[in-house]
Amino acid sequence: MAEIQQKADSGGGGKKRAKKMSTKIDMTPMVDLAFLLLTFFMLTSTFSKPTVMELNMPAKIRDEREKTELKASNAFTVLLGGDNKIYYYDGLLDNNVKPDLKSSDFSADGIRKVLFERKQRNPNVVVMIKPDDTSTYKNMVDILDEMNITGQKKYALMEISTNDQDLIKGSGL
């Protein structure tokens, strides 16, 4: 608590002056309160939980006959390129026919709109995601987020083929 110390009057004659008083403040209660509040907030706060994306991995195939072939009409291929670019085409890559390659980005009017349109046209569409060597990890996470946002249930992460890489290089997009 605060305490005021007074000097005793020496009783000398002369002018009467106001007594000088010195103050002394005890800081112990304030320090106790600070540590009490600090302890309270540390024990009652919650730590931020890391955000984790759930990926379901396919079961191992025991027999080659269990594999199902993907129809070209149900396939939609997304190629992740450098500089946050996305290239996509309908169907599977066929050596005889060059697909109609289009370019997009990660904006709401970009790949998200395209994925919504494909899902409305064909609810059985399977998106094949093929990242290029020039794409970043952020691009991979962003496209997986887009799959989650658009409610796409069937998608696969695949290695990009040399034909797909040549298609990107030769596209000029």
Residue 95 carries which DSSP code?
S
Right CATH for 72-171 from 3.40.1190.20, 3.40.630.30, 2.60.40.10, 3.30.420.270: 3.30.420.270
Mean pLDDT on 5-28: 69
* Residue type (1 letter), 173: L
Q: Give the per-residue pLDDT at 71.
A: 79
Stronger pLDDT, 173 or 107, i.e. the higher one: 107
Does 2 have pLDDT greater than 90?
no
Torsion of the alpha carbons at 31, 33, 34 and 40, rounded to the nearest 10: 150
Q: Whole-model pTM?
A: 0.63
DSSP string, 14-61: S---PPPEEEE---HHHHHHHHHHHHHHHHH--PPPPP----PPPPPP
Does 84 have pLDDT greater than 90?
no
Strand order in the sheet with 86-90: 102-104, 86-90, 75-80, 126-131, 155-157
Going by pLDDT thresholds of 50, 70 and 90, the confidence category of residue 1 is low
Give me the residue spans of the domains in the chain.
Answer: 72-171
How confident is the prediction for the chain on average, in pLDDT? Answer: 82
Stronger pLDDT, 52 or 6, i.e. the higher one: 52
